[in-house]
Amino acid sequence: MTNKVMSIMVVGVGGQGVILASELLCEAAMRMGYDVKKSEIHGMAQRGGSVVSSVRYGEKVYSPLITKREADILLSFEQLETLRWLDYIKPEGKIVINDQRIVPMAVAVGQGEYPDVFGILNRVTDKVYKLNGPDIAQQVGDIRAVNVALVGALSIHLDIPMELWRKVIESRVPPETLDINLKAFEMGRTLMKVP
Amino acid sequence: MRVLLSGNEAIARGAYEYGISVATAYPGTPSTEILENMVNYKDNIYCEWAPNEKVAMEVAIGASLGGARALVAMKHVGLNVASDPFLTLSYTGVKGGLVIVSADDPGMHSSQNEQDNRHYARMAKVPMLEPSDSQEAKDYVGIALEISEVFDAPVLLRTTTRVSHTKTVVRLSEREKIPAPSEFERAPGKYVMVPANARMRHIAVEERLERLRQYAEETDINRIEWRDKKVGVITSGISYQYVREAMPDASILKLGMTYPLAENLIRKFANGVETLYVVEELDPFLEEQIKAMGINVIGKEKLPILYEFDQSIIREKLADEKIELKNFLGETQLPPRPPVLCPGCPHRGVFYILKKLKLVVMGDIGCYSLGVAPPLAALDSTVCMGASVGMTFGAELALKENIKGKIVGVIGDSTFIHSGITGLIDIVYNKGASTIIILDNRTTGMTGHQDNPGTGRTLKGERTHQLDLKEVVRAVGIKNVRVIDPYNLEETEKVITEEINKDEPSVIITNRPCVLIVKDEKQNKYRVDAKLCKNCGMCYMVGCSAIYREDNKANIDEIFCAGCGVCAQVCRFNAIKKVGDMDDQ
Ligand SMILES: Cc1ncc(C[n+]2csc(CCOP(=O)(O)OP(=O)(O)O)c2C)c(N)n1
């Protein structure tokens, strides 16, 4: 019996909605009947630090952590943050990336440079799937919908039916934002399909 | 029903299902969400934020002696604060079942040290359980209560960050019906720990430990999983998951109860395998006890004593599997992205001035600990909650005139109430002349905005008496009490300068709430007038993440700007202006 475990890392910057995105993913995996584990570090209330959340699901999951060379998919909310986790992706792993830059304080004050992210990624793998999250969020009319749009983009790489995603989103977002979030999800999903 | 719960949510749920009716805590990562989620059951469980862990513990002890099932939760260092009642509680025993949750933080994701609280179980001679996922976290609350009541002992439920903050699948049940106690059952011989009684109770503690050793042999939360007998691993808590992942064929002795140890079970397991490892994060707690049994076991020779584990560490150290990494980044250095004070944080202005005045700053624990980071870099110490006050006084005693007017202590509102007050009493009583700044942002910010006695609201969201810090400080005997607006740099500098030069103790209290709580929508955003900006870099020195350099000019990201105006006050060319004011030009 093979116990295939899916390992997905969701990374970004505090305040971007990384945690909600990984919650949606977990909820969907659980409704598929999988064993699911999700781990992240939270505690500091401050905005603006690096955030990482690990989601693993399959028939039986032991460790909640994803270690180097174990991630099937890296879902990244911010260009630079993608680079911090390159070692964690499997050789055949995929990168779903939000085409957004948030300049870290060090760079903002002139210490260090914001790297050429796509230049580096192109050397590393051809499995990079780019989505302009802020653009979608603007189109649906709420900047906070970036995270759900990204989950939409992620969803085409997973074996979870659209109907189930809809139910999960319904159960997790405030009712008054449901339409916007569903639209953002579908746009993320559609744009990913047609490159 | 199957649901996904974090370890902390599961403990709260366990408290509900197993009939706990009083739950107390002082917040602290990674334990905070236990009580935050307990509120969901407030119709059945009284829950509160206590001012500190010692009080939280004492309330729980009282509830237990009153006959109710009770739970108290804290982070690892919180148990240091509560250790005094805890260690004697072991002697008094309980009436209603009593669970003490200690959430440890291997890896120090958000802690000042990496102490291993399993030692507390041994020191207090109380039973300890360690869950390895959320289902166990919930179940172990029930088991702990049962042990507590059967053995007349408080039970330590020890989690670590990766159990507390990991969501795993849990099956829910209904709440057990536990009859409410009707009267206080007096038992002075057991509860009044004067020496004559305590001597008798120490005997009971030792006898209890013997009976608990027997229980450890029999309970099914200690279990052997026989697989390949070449390699056997004794492990507990989250390490169990890493071992299962990294060494799927190894036999495992999983200890759900890690104090006292099941010696016969350990012997049986040791005899059944060729090579025996013990896998535990932090100290060789199990290892040393097992070695003391005369059993040959490999532990810290191979595995680190520092930080947390994961499956790759186990694979590398015990299964000799190393992974090859490529250097994807080449020469590129990734700029770090540490947590920073939020745009609009009221702590910023104070630190900017402390740095400007080149003062020695005895710091404390809270968001303001981030004042250590450049460019503010205005913090000289952080030890434990409340330490800033006594340490300021102590440094003045050491350096006398040499430090007069050159030192302050800085402490948050929640931290001051937690354990800063007593330090201040010491300064007044012993005729010190220290200046202490209370950064009163009206919340317990660092741990995610919990209410405290200064906010005027309880954990349950009810209005309550709001502790007036000015009155408290005056009552302690401080005559120089000043309130400042930390957004006003001129006033902040003036008041601090005046107070540090006095020959009497002073307290300066800031009056701006945390920006993440009180969103002042009317607060104007600021913008840089590119025509006036000389790119001198002064505004970067306030360390605000909304300010960045572009095209050799300072820029302000208006989405992030909270409109505090601190940057505008440091600009020497009047280039930073309120958005509205600029549009008028
Ligand atoms: C004994 C102990 N308990 C709890 C904590 C966790 N903790 C760190 S800072 C903090 C409170 C910070 O609140 P406050 O002093 O009001 O400062 P703020 O973060 O709001 O600036 C807490 C509870 C700790 N470090 N030590």
What kind of fold does domain A6-132+154-172 have according to CATH?
Pyruvate-ferredoxin Oxidoreductase; domain 3 (3.40.920)
Report the alpha-carbon distance of residue A91 to residue B324 in Å, rounded. 11
Sequence ranges of the domains in chain A: 6-132+154-172
**pTM higher than the cut 0.80:** yes
In which residue are the tokens 């989250």 written?
A: B238
Name the token pair of B478: 């401080």
DSSP conformation class of B420: I
Which string of DSSP letters, residue by residue, matches B173-220? Answer: -PPP--PPP-S----HHHH---HHHHHHHHHHHHHHHHHHHHHHHH-T
Closest listed residue to residue B129, CA positions, set B78, B163, B167: B163
pLDDT at B304 over 90: yes
What's the 3-state SS for B253-307? EEECEEECCCHHHHHHHHHHCCEEEEECCCCCHHHHHHHHCCCCCECCCCCCCCC
Report the alpha-carbon distance of residue B529 to residue A44 in Å, rounded. 34
What kind of fold does domain B526-583 have according to CATH?
Alpha-Beta Plaits (3.30.70)
Report the alpha-carbon distance of residue B337 to residue B292 in Å, rounded. 46
**What is the tens place of the pLDDT at every residue in B198-241?**
999 999 999 999 999 999 999 999 999 999 999 999 999 999 99
Cβ B397 vs Cβ B417: under 8 Å: no
**What is the tens place of the pLDDT at every residue in B385-412?**
999 999 999 999 999 999 999 999 999 9
Report the alpha-carbon distance of residue B387 to residue B365 in Å, rounded. 9
Angle formed at CA B530 by CA B527 and CA B531, multiple of 5 degrees:
130
Query: Chain B residue with minimal CA distance to A56?
Result: B168
**pLDDT given at position A44:** 59
**Minimal Cα–Cα distance from B338 to chain A, Å?**
5
**Minimal Cα–Cα distance from A152 to chain B, Å?**
21
Read off the amino acid at residue A7.
S
**pLDDT given at position A194:** 60
Report the alpha-carbon distance of residue B519 to residue B502 in Å, rounded. 36
Cβ B250 vs Cβ B205: under 8 Å: no
Highest CATH level, class, for B347-510: alpha beta
Please count the other Cβ atoms lying within 10 Å of the Cβ belonging to residue B43: 6
**What is the tens place of the pLDDT at every residue in B231-287?**
999 999 999 999 999 999 999 999 999 999 999 999 999 999 999 999 999 999 999
Q: What percent of chain B has pLDDT over 70?
A: 99
User: How many angstroms does the Cα of residue B103 sit away from the middle of ligand 1?
Assistant: 15
Ligand 1 close to Cβ of residue B81 (< 6 A):
yes
> Is the ipTM here above 0.85?
yes
Site from B329, B332, B337 to mutate, A interface, most A CB atoms within 10 angstroms: B337
Q: Which residues of A touch B338 (CB under 8 A)?
A: 49-50
User: Can you tell me which atom of ligand 1 is nearest the CA of B111?
Assistant: 25
Name the token pair of B156: 């330590």
Closest listed residue to residue B141, CA positions, set B19, B300, B258: B19
The reply to whether B347-510 shares the fold of B2-218 is: yes
Query: Chain A residue with minimal CA distance to B237?
Result: A63
B336 to A41: CB separation less than 8 angstroms, yes or no: no
Burial class (CB in 10 A: 0-12, 13-18, 19+), A123: exposed
**pLDDT given at position A1:** 45
**pLDDT given at position A193:** 76
pLDDT at B342 over 70: yes
Nearest to A45 among B238, B367, B540 (CB): B367
A39 to B166: CB separation less than 8 angstroms, yes or no: yes
Q: How far is CA B238 from the centre of its chain?
A: 19
Report the alpha-carbon distance of residue B381 to residue B384 in Å, rounded. 10
**pLDDT given at position B261:** 98
Instruction: Provide the CATH number for the domain formed by B222-319 in this structure.
Output: 3.40.50.920
Please count the other Cβ atoms lying within 10 Å of the Cβ belonging to residue B42: 14
Read off the amino acid at residue B453.
P
Residues in contact with B366: Cβ distance below 8 Å, sequence separation at least 6, in sequence order: B411, B412, B414, B415, B439, B444, B445, B446
Ligand 1 close to Cβ of residue B369 (< 6 A):
no
Helix (H) or strand (E) holding A89: strand A89-98
User: Can you tell me which atom of ligand 1 is nearest the CA of B28?
Assistant: 6
- The three-state secondary structure class of B88 is helix
Sequence ranges of the domains in chain B: 2-218, 222-319, 347-510, 526-583
Report the alpha-carbon distance of residue B548 to residue B532 in Å, rounded. 16
- In chain B, how long is the greatest CA-to-CA distance? 86
DSSP conformation class of B372: G
Please count the other Cβ atoms lying within 10 Å of the Cβ belonging to residue B116: 18
Domain with residues B2-218, CATH architecture? 3-Layer(aba) Sandwich (3.40)
Q: What residues of chain A score a pLDDT lower than 70?
A: 1-2, 42-47, 194-195
Report the alpha-carbon distance of residue B89 to residue B205 in Å, rounded. 11
**What is the tens place of the pLDDT at every residue in A44-76?**
556 678 999 999 999 999 999 999 999 999 999
